[in-house]
C-alpha cells in the first residue's frame, strides 16, 4: 500500500530553505523524516492535473519495487492555508545530479567510476523496461540531470514526469506542446522523435543513453553551440557527437566506438536492448576495488571542495523547522522560531504576506521589498561578469542554466533571466537578501546603488560583517 506522509512529519533546515531542484513539474526541497531520514520532497505544481500526479506516483512506486530508480518513500496530498499540495518523497541523493557534477561543478569521474555509473544506469533501465512486458514502461527523458548520485556516487534514475507506455503513438508537435522540456533536452531525442508521427519504443531510451554515455566520457555537452533548431536536421542526417574526443582516453576504443554507434543507430531496430548494454558494459566495470574506491573518494573530495563544505550530510539538529516554512516565502522571526520548535501550529503565526496585503499603503523599507522585474532588468544591463558564473553562484542548477541559454540569445538577456530565475526560486527574494548574496560572491555592490540609494542595507551589512 502506498504510504501517505504528512507535512507535519517533515522538518527543514532554516538556512537551506531554497529549492534543490525546479522545473515544469514543480519544486524539490531537502528535508528530514524521522523514519526515512534525509529525503527529497518534490512538491508538484499547484495546478498539476490530478491524473498526472496519480500516474507519476504509481510509476515511482512500481519502479522502486523493482529497484529501478531513486527509492520512493511515499506521497503528500494535504491542504495548507487553503491550497492543496501534492508531492512525492524520495531518498535524498547527497551528491546531486550527474549533470551538475559534470557541468556545474566540473568534476569528472575517472573512467572506472564512469563505466560503473553507466552500467548501473543500464541495469536500472532494463528493470524499468521489464516492469510490464505487455505495456513496456519508458522513461523518455533520460539525461544527466535525471541521474542522481548517492553518497558513494552510485547512479540512480529519477523523474518520471515524461514517462510513457510503449503502446502510445504520438504526434511530435503535440508532444512538444505538452512537454516544454522536450525542446530543451532535444539533444537526447532519438531521430524518430522528429518524424511527423512516431511511436516511442524502448529503443528511444537507448538512444538517449548513448548521448549521455558520450557526454560522461567526453566531458563535454553534446552539440555545444547548436540551437534547438540546428540539432534536428543534424540528427536526421545521421550526425552525432564527435567520437574523436574519446580516442586515446578509453581502453579498447574501437570496440567502444562500435558499441556507441549501435546505441545511437539511425534505425531504432538496430539498437541493442538495455539487457545487451548491461552485459557489454559489465567487463568494463571489473576494476580493482582499491582503484575504484580511490576514484570515488577523489571525485567526492573534489565535489566537497567545489561546494565549500566539509561533509555531504547536515547535522540532525539543523532540521528544526516545519516543512511548511518553504511555502511562506519569508524567514521566521526569532519568536516564531521558538514557538515552532516546541510544536506550535504554524498556521497561528502571523503571515508577513498577509500583513503586507492588509497594509498596502504602508511604506516598506528598501531592504524588505521583494525584487521586481524592473530591478532584474537594470541588474542584468549593468552586470559585467560571466552570466553563467553568476547563475551558479546564486544557486541556479545546471538544468536551469541550460534552459536560460536555450531561451535567450544575447548575454544581456541571459543576465536578466538569471536575476529573474533567482527571484523565482529563492524563498526570500528581497532586495536585502540579493545584495547580501552579491556581496558574498565578491560583486561590487556599489555598482547597484539604485537598489539601495541611501546605503541603508550596505551599511547594515558592513556593520554586521556580512
> What does the angle CA 83 – CA 87 – CA 90 come to, to the nearest 5 degrees?
155
Is 280 found in the same domain as 136? yes
User: Is 122 found in the same domain as 69?
Assistant: no
Average pLDDT, the chain: 80
> Is 42 labeled as ligand-binding?
yes
Domain shared by 235 and 259, yes or no: yes
Residue 458 sits in a domain whose CATH number is 1.10.533.10
Distance between CA 149 and CA 129 in Å, rounded? 21
CATH number of the domain enclosing 106: 1.10.510.10
Residues 390 and 354 in one domain: no
pLDDT at 83: 84
Q: Decide which of 280 and 430 is more confident.
A: 280
- 269 and 134 within one domain: yes
pLDDT digits (tens, 9 = 90+) for 398-418: 777 877 887 787 888 888 888
Q: What percent of the chain has pLDDT over 90?
A: 39
454 catalytic residue (yes or no)? no
Q: How much is the pLDDT for 24?
A: 59
My answer on whether 384 and 291 are in the same domain is no
Grid cell, residue 430, equals 528581497
By residue range, what is the domain housing residue 33? Answer: 1-94+314-362
- Cell 538556512, residue located: 15
Collapsing DSSP states into helix, strand and coil, what is residue 177? helix
Which of the four pLDDT bands, split at 50, 70 and 90, describes residue 268? very high
φ and ψ of 428, to 5 deg: -140, 70
Give the residue with greater pLDDT, 334 vs 227: 227
At residue 232, the pLDDT reads 93
Q: Name the active-site residue from 110, 134, 141, 407.
A: 141
261: Cα within 13 Å, side-chain hemisphere: 10
Structure-derived torsion over alpha carbons of residues 208, 210, 212, 214, reported in degrees to the nearest 10: -150
Q: Which of 195, 141, 132, 194 minimizes the C-alpha distance to 167? A: 132
Contact (CB, 8 A) for 121 and 147: yes
Confidence of residue 340 (pLDDT cuts 50, 70, 90): very low
- Residues 23 and 89 both lie in one domain: yes
Last residue of a domain, one of 272, 306, 340: 306
Same domain assignment for residues 330 and 343: yes
Number of compact structural domains in the chain: 3
Same domain, 289 and 158: yes
429 and 355 fall within a common domain: no
Please indicate whether residue 426 or residue 245 has the higher confidence score (pLDDT): 245
Residues 277 and 219 in one domain: yes
Q: 297: part of which helix (H) or strand (E)?
A: helix 289-307
The model's confidence at residue 162, banded by pLDDT at 50, 70 and 90, is: low
Residue 346 has pLDDT above 90, yes or no: no
For cell 530591478, the residue is 375
Which DSSP category does 329 fall into?
S
Tell me how far apart the alpha carbons of residues 418 and 375 are, in angstroms, rounded to a whole number.
12
Above 50 in pLDDT, residue 14? yes
What integer pLDDT is reported at residue 464 of this predicted model? 54
Amino acid at each position: 500500500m502506498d504510504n501517505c506522509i504528512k507535512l507535519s512529519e517533515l522538518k527543514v533546515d532554516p538556512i537551506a530553505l531554497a529549492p534543490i531542484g525546479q522545473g515544469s513539474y514543480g519544486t524539490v526541497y531537502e528535508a528530514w523524516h524521522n523514519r526515512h531520514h534525509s529525503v527529497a520532497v518534490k512538491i508538484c505544481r499547484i495546478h498539476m492535473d490530478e491524473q498526472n500526479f496519480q500516474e507519476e506516483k504509481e510509476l515511482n512506486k512500481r519502479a522502486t519495487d523493482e529497484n529501478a530508480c531513486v527509492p520512493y518513500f511515499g506521497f503528500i496530498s494535504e491542504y495548507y492555508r487553503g491550497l492543496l499540495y501534492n508531492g512525492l518523497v524520495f531518498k535524498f541523493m547527497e551528491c546531486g545530479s550527474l549533470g551538475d557534477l559534470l557541468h556545474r561543478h566540473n568534476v569528472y569521474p575517472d573512467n572506472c567510476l564512469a563505466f560503473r555509473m553507466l552500467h548501473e544506469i543500464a541495469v536500472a533501465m532494463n528493470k524499468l523496461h521489464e516492469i510490464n512486458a505487455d505495456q513496456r514502461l519508458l522513461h523518455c527523458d533520460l539525461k544527466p540531470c535525471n541521474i542522481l548520485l548517492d553518497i558513494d556516487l552510485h547512479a540512480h534514475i529519477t523523474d518520471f514526469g515524461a514517462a510513457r507506455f510503449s503502446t502510445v503513438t504520438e504526434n511530435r508537435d503535440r508532444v512538444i506542446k505538452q512537454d516544454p522540456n522536450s525542446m530543451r533536452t532535444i539533444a537526447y531525442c532519438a531521430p524518430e522523435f522528429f518524424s511527423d508521427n512516431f511511436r516511442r519504443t524502448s529503443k528511444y531510451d537507448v538512444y538517449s543513453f548513448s548521448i549521455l554515455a558520450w557526454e560522461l566520457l567526453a566531458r563535454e555537452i553534446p552539440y555545444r553551440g547548436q540551437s534547438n533548431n540546428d540539432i534536428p536536421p543534424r540528427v536526421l542526417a545521421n550526425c552525432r557527437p564527435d567520437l574523436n574526443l574519446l580516442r586515446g582516453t578509453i581502453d579498447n576504443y574501437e570496440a567502444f566506438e562500435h558499441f556507441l554507434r549501435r546505441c545511437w543507430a539511425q534505425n531504432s531496430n538496430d539498437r541493442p536492448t538495455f539487457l545487451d548494454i548491461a552485459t557489454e558494459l559489465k567487463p568494463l566495470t571489473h576494476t580493482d576495488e582499491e582503484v575504484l574506491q580511490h576514484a570515488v573518494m577523489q571525485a567526492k573530495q573534489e565535489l566537497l571542495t567545489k561546494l565549500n563544505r566539509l561533509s555531504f550530510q547536515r547535522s540532525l539538529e539543523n532540521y528544526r523547522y516545519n516543512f511548511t516554512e518553504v511555502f511562506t516565502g519569508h524567514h521566521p522571526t526569532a519568536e516564531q522560531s521558538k514557538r515552532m520548535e516546541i510544536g506550535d501550529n504554524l498556521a497561528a503565526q502571523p503571515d508577513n504576506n498577509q500583513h503586507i496585503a492588509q497594509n498596502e499603503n504602508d511604506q516598506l523599507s528598501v531592504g524588505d521589498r521583494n525584487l521586481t522585474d524592473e530591478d532584474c532588468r537594470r541588474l542584468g544591463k549593468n552586470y559585467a561578469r560571466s552570466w553563467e558564473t553568476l547563475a551558479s553562484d546564486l544557486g541556479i542548477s545546471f538544468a536551469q542554466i541550460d534552459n536560460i541559454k536555450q531561451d535567450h540569445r544575447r548575454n544581456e538577456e541571459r543576465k536578466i533571466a538569471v536575476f529573474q530565475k533567482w527571484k523565482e526560486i529563492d524563498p526570500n527574494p528581497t532586495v536585502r537578501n540579493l545584495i547580501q548574496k552579491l556581496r558574498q560572491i565578491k560583486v561590487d555592490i556599489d555598482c547597484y546603488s539604485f537598489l539601495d540609494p541611501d546605503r541603508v542595507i550596505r551599511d547594515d551589512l558592513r556593520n554586521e560583517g556580512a
